[in-house]
């Protein structure tokens, strides 16, 4: 006798369907929960497919070093304050109390989800003060809205910086120092030292409780980041991290996925991500759950 679908209970194909959907997943990115000594949490990740796709082009793990990348270069990340959504970076070309370097400047990509923290201070060093100079820094009536004038109210910072042994080796007058605060970089999101006719800069994100001792200042740049337009932390990611998973994304539409330590991925979490096929390929836990439930239902259906 030929059996057609019309002669079979219409619910019969459902268990088979779910078991077929519970197929081994493709190879997943190796998402780590740390990069060097820095813990990694959403929205950051250690490579493609990890963290948020919005942040991946800007923050990545290079070996054991977490780095922040813009069009002007890649910068080591010192630490991440997840509670306040701030990351702290350093610039090897930045001048500090212990070293002096020439620099081309610093920029933010216009489409990057980062802004400067209000406490950031940029001190532009060894700048041209000649009246014939094309630099607008010291111009009394500059009309260039993209370039800020010097903040004379913070002039003591220049004197203190130029007292540092390394910076004093520039052997230039304190008047060639320009304090740039609050830091915005204007509509171009770029501090072009060549255009501003300065040889270097210092970034200071904290005076460490003592504004008179530059040797103890925290040199670098503090950047505020936002998860999304509404700045919300995705609940799915919170569940994933609670199960010791690492949040990531997959597929054409960058759908959320939870990457687990045993190589599996799940659209929910890693609590049930412990079943694998004999070849070492991992079974998606959501479909595995559906498969077990409907396999049990199939047995009951046959017995009845």
Could you read off the pLDDT of 92-142 as tens digits, one per residue? 999 999 999 899 999 998 888 999 999 999 999 998 887 666 777 766 555
Domain-wise residue ranges, the chain:
1-23+284-304, 90-225
207 Cβ contact list (under 8 Å, min separation 6): 217, 218
Q: How far is CA 248 from CA 32, 53, 75, 251, 257, in A?
A: 10, 8, 23, 11, 5
**Is the model's pTM score more than 0.85?**
no
pLDDT in tens, 117-130: 999 999 999 988 87
Q: How far apart are the C-alpha atoms of 58 and 243, rounded to whole Å?
A: 27
Tens of pLDDT along 185-234?
888 888 999 988 899 999 999 999 999 999 999 999 999 998 865 556 77
Is residue 167 within 8 A of residue 151, CB to CB? The reply is no
User: Which range is least confidently modeled, 57-71, 73-87, 164-178?
Assistant: 164-178
**Cα–Cα nearest to 120, from 42, 254, 248, 220:** 220
Three-point CA angle 192, 196, 198, nearest 5°: 95
Can you list the positions of beta strands (E) in 226-304? 246-250, 255-259, 265-266
Distance between CA atoms of 160 and 204, rounded to whole angstroms?
Answer: 13
Q: Could you tell me where the beta strands, DSSP code E, fall in 26-81? A: 34-35, 38-39, 59-62, 65-70, 73-81
């Amino acid at each position: 006798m030929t059996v057609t679908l019309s002669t079979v209970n219409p619910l019969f194909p459902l268990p088979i369907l779910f078991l077929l959907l519970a197929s081994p997943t493709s190879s997943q990115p190796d998402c780590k929960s740390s990069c060097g000594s820095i813990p990694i949490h959403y929205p950051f990740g250690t490579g493609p497919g990890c963290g948020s796709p919005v942040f991946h082009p800007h923050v990545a793990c290079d070996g054991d070093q977490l780095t922040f990348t813009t069009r002007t270069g890649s910068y080591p990340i010192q630490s991440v304050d997840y509670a306040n959504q701030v990351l702290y970076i350093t610039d090897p070309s930045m001048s500090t109390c212990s070293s002096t370097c020439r620099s081309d400047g610093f920029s933010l990509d216009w489409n990057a989800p980062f802004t400067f923290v209000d406490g950031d201070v940029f001190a532009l060093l060894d700048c041209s003060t000649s009246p014939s100079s094309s630099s607008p820094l010291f111009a009394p009536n500059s009309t260039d809205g993209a370039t800020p004038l010097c903040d004379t109210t913070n002039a003591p910072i220049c004197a203190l910086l130029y007292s540092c042994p390394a910076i004093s080796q520039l052997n230039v007058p304190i008047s060639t120092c320009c304090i740039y605060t609050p830091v915005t970089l204007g509509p171009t999101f770029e501090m072009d030292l060549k255009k501003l006719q300065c040889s270097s800069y210092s970034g200071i994100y904290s005076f460490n409780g003592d504004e008179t001792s530059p040797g103890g200042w925290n040199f670098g740049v503090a950047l505020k980041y936002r998860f999304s337009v509404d700045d919300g932390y995705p609940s799915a990611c919170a569940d994933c991290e609670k199960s010791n998973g690492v949040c990531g994304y997959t597929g054409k539409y960058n759908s959320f996925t939870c990457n687990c330590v045993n190589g599996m991925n799940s659209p929910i979490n890693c609590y049930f991500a412990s079943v694998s096929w004999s070849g070492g390929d991992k079974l998606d836990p959501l479909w595995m759950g559906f498969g077990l439930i409907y396999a049990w239902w199939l047995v009951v259906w046959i017995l009845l």
